[in-house]
Every structure is written in C-alpha cells, then in structure tokens.
C-alpha cells in the first residue's frame, strides 16, 4: 500500500487518503523503482460488528529506510493495520506499528476482533491470534488476497465472501 510513484491518482478508493496523508510521508528513493512494499497478505479480517475489513501490511521495499525513501517520512501505510469500508474500499483509520520501518518487520500476523467489556461502553480490540489456528473463511480469503492487485477490489471480494459465510 504505497502511493503512485508519479504522484498521480490510480482511480481507486485509496486515491483520496494517499493524497491527504500518505504521499507526504514518502520522499524520493528506490521505492519508486521497487514498488515500496507494504503488501497486504495473511492478516485480512472482516469484523461484522463494525462492518470493517481490517488488513495488515508488510514491510518496506527496499527494507532500508535510507535507500527506500532517503531516510525521510513515516512511509504510510507500511507495517500498518488499515481499516476499510467493505463495500467501497474507502479508508476509515490506520495504526502504523513501525513508522519508517527499516528492520524488515511486518504487521501481517493473523488477527481477530474481540469485545473489551467495560462498565461505561463497549470497545473492540484487534488481537494477534495464537498459532496454530483453525481454518476460517478469512484464512481462505487471505490466500486469495495474495494475488489481488487492488485494495479496493480486495476489500469488496472479502466482504462478499465473509457475508456468504455468516
């Protein structure tokens, strides 16, 4: 999940958020030739309570921040958890686990959404799932996601499959 190297829109749901937040966190560097990384794989879940698709993104490419982006910027949305609207792929929120990632870390470990009980309100948590894990529709969808070329198309595909498994 990286900006277009030419700074142009891709006509995808991500265009707006890349223009507003992510593009400014990328500087000139080898990411423009190598793609930048941030691949979405394995950690893709649908939370029916919030009606969000949550994706985990991989490390940067090249992994060294100085080579990738001149050592400048956080390089959104590398090593992040990103929440998307399932019908449109539109950005809702993100949490970047390792800004300016240079250690070949990822945020793609399989996760689950869980309620956090409290006396004043109900909150939800995204937690890593322990290994081994049972086969789930989201796990099967994750293998399909490795070949997806668009986060928007991926979110729509996941949403349809998750709704079919309710």
Active site residues: 104
**Integer CA distances (angstroms), 22 to 16, 18, 77, 99, 121, in order:** 10, 4, 7, 12, 32
Residue 161 has which token pair?
């499959």
A 10 A CB-CB count for 154 gives 22
Distance of CA 109 to the CA centre of its chain: 11
The secondary structure element, H or E, covering residue 18 is none
**How many degrees, rounded to 5, is the angle at CA 164 between CA 126 and CA 162?**
15
94 close to 1: Cβ distance less than 8 angstroms: no
Q: Rounded to an integer, what distance in angstroms lies between the CA atom of residue 146 and that of residue 83?
A: 18
Q: Rounded to an integer, what distance in angstroms lies between the CA atom of residue 116 and that of residue 45?
A: 18
């Amino acid at each position: 999940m990286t900006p277009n190297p030419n700074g142009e829109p891709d006509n995808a749901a991500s265009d707006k958020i890349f223009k507003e937040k992510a593009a400014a966190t990328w500087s000139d560097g080898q990411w423009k030739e190598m793609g930048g990384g941030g691949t979405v794989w394995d950690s893709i879940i649908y939370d029916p309570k919030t009606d969000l698709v949550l994706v985990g993104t991989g490390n940067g490419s090249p992994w060294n921040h100085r080579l990738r982006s001149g050592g400048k910027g956080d390089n959104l949305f590398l090593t992040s958890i990103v929440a998307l609207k399932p019908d449109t792929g539109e950005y809702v929120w993100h949490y970047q686990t390792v800004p300016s990632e240079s250690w070949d870390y990822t945020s793609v470990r399989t996760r689950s959404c869980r309620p956090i009980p409290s006396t004043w309100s109900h909150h939800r948590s995204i937690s890593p799932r322990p290994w081994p894990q049972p086969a789930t529709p989201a796990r099967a969808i994750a293998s399909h996601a490795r070949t997806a070329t668009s986060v928007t198309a991926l979110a729509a595909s996941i949403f349809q499959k998750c709704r079919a498994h309710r």
